[in-house]
Amino acid sequence: MLLLAARAVGGDAARHSVVRMAAVVEFLHTATLVHDDIIDNAETRRNRASLNRRFGNQVAVLMGDWLYMSAFETSLAERSLPILDILTAVTRKMVEGELMQLTLLGSADVSEAQYFDVLERKTAYLFSACCEIGAILGGGTPEQQQALRDYGMYVGTAFQLVDDLLDFTGTEEILGKPAGLDLLEGKVTLPVIYLLESAPTMRRKVQAVMRSESYAEVSRAALLRAAEECGALERARAKAAEFAAAASDAAEKLPTSIYREALRAIPNYILERDR
C-alpha cells in the first residue's frame, strides 16, 4: 500500500527510499504479529507454528523488540521528521490499542464505540501511516496526503471488520489459524456486539464461552445461527461495506492512474476475501 500510494501521487516506487520505508512498515507490522501471538498464546500463524510456540515467549519477545528497533534504525536513514513523527505515533497507538483491549477482555459489555476505538489503534492507523508515508515520499500535495491518510484509515477499518467476521464465521482450514478464537480469548467483536444488542438473552451464553474458554457449553454453530437469524452478521458486513466505500471515495480524490484504480480495487478485494 505504501508503494501504491507513492505511485498514485506520481512518485517513483522503485526509489530506494520508498522501498526502504515499505520494508520499515513491514518490520513494524511483523513485530505486532509476533507480540500479538505471545499475548494471545497463539500456536499458529498462516498455517505454520507461531514464533512463540517454536522458540518460546522469551525469544519471541526479543525478536519482536528487535524488529521494532530495526524499523526505527532503518527509518532514520530517511532523515525525515514528518515520517518519524508518523511512525512513532502509529507505534504508540498500536500499543495503546493492545492495552485498551486487555482492559476489555472477558467483558460482554463492550460498546460499539469502544470496539472501534481499539480497532483503529490496533489496525487502521497502521494502514493510514503506510499510505501517508507513501504520499510524502511520492511528493504528493497536502490534499493528496490527506486523501491517502483517510483512505488508509477506512480501508484498514474495513480489513479488520472482515477479519473479525471471518474469525466468527470461518473455519481453521480456510483461515490458516484457529477459528472462533476471539471469543475464546475474551474478545467481543462487532458481530457479537450486534448479536447481544438484538438478542440480549444470548449474553449468558457468550459469557459462558469466555469464562470456560471453550465451546463445550455453547457451540459455535449455535452462536453463528443466532447471529445470522437476528441480522447481526448482515449488520457487521454492511458496516465493513460502508468503510470500504468510504475508502474508494477517498481514493477518487487522487489523479487518474492505474495506481489509483489499484487502490480503489483493494476495498472490494477485502470485502470478498475468505481468509
pLDDT at 171: 75
Give the whole-angstrom CA distance, residue 240 versus residue 237: 5
CB-based contacts of 256: which residues, under 8 Å, 6+ apart? none
Q: How far apart are CA 257 and CA 254, in angstroms?
A: 8
In terms of Cα–Cα distance, which of 64, 124, 117 is closest to 90? 124
The 8 Å CB, 24+ separation contacts for 161-167 are: 161/119, 161/190, 161/236, 161/239, 161/240, 161/243, 162/240, 162/270, 162/271, 162/273, 164/189, 164/190, 164/191, 164/236, 165/189, 165/190, 165/191, 165/233, 165/236, 165/237, 165/240, 166/273, 166/274, 166/275
Domain locations along the chain = 2-272
pLDDT for residue 44: 86
Q: Which residues of 39-56 are buried (b: 16+ CB within 10 A; e: fewer)?
A: ebebebbeeeebbbbeee
Beta-bridge partners for 44: 49
Asked if residues 267 and 159 have their Cβ atoms less than 8 Å apart, the reply is no
**Which residues of the chain register pLDDT less than 70?**
172-178
45 DSSP β-pair partners: 48
pLDDT the model gives residue 177 = 60
Within 10 angstroms of residue 262's Cβ, the number of other Cβ atoms is: 15
Query: Among all chains, which residue has been given the C-alpha cell 489496525?
Result: 123
CA 193 – CA 275 distance, rounded (Å): 22
Q: Which fold has domain 2-272?
A: Farnesyl Diphosphate Synthase (1.10.600)
Q: CA-CA distance, 65 to 185, in Å (whole number)?
A: 24
| pLDDT value at residue 13 | 87
